[in-house]
Structure 1
Amino acid sequence: MSILSAGMVEAAQANDWERLVVLEHEMADIRAELMRIEPDGRQAADQSEADAARKASLITAMLRNDEEIRRHVEPWLASTRKLLGGAQRDRAVRSAYGAFGP
């Protein structure tokens, strides 16, 4: 998951939205599989301190990656929403008043 998270950062920084979506789906698949294997998290009790520290470090890195991804994605989403909102208003006006022109 950590490797996928880093790849998602690279995709977001490159504005490669298709790759970002593919990687996010891969991440979701892994997350679902982990939940299927140990839905209650019992494996955590069996970890050594070193394993728990490594896991915490990886989770912290993935959370930082998530922040970086959002930093790139949120402005793109805002502009997309604005663009789609304008198109929606245009359709509403055309629906209400009819299309003008030839």
Structure 2
Amino acid sequence: MTQQTITDRATLLRAAIADIEPRHAALPRIGADANGGWIASHDQHRAAAEELLRHIRRQHGAKARVGLTDPSRLQLHGITVTSVRGLAVLIDAWLTKARAALSGASK
């Protein structure tokens, strides 16, 4: 990989992280309220995570597969992650791996 390619990828990763991270942090949390709305909070969380994944596909050109029986997969800017624990965990795994790639690129 040339220095220019590394710099371009780092710029793309920084921009993607800056866009995705606050959206991911703003996902509704799952938990029962005083009325026992556990299922409702889970449904809201899942719907918001699905919308975030659509945003990542549209804005950043990510390739994603949402698995029902196989792991879900997210590929963006050369980083691929899989998860069987839901889309929010999948996106969090991508953010973690992207930050690690950036710290490795800056050395």
TM-score range, shorter chain: 0.3 to 0.5
The structure with more radius of gyration: 1
**What TM-score do the two structures reach when normalised by structure 1?**
0.32
Q: Which has the higher contact order (CA 8 A, sep 6+)?
A: 1
**What TM-score do the two structures reach when normalised by structure 2?**
0.31
- Which protein has the bigger helix share? 1
- Which protein has the bigger strand share? 2
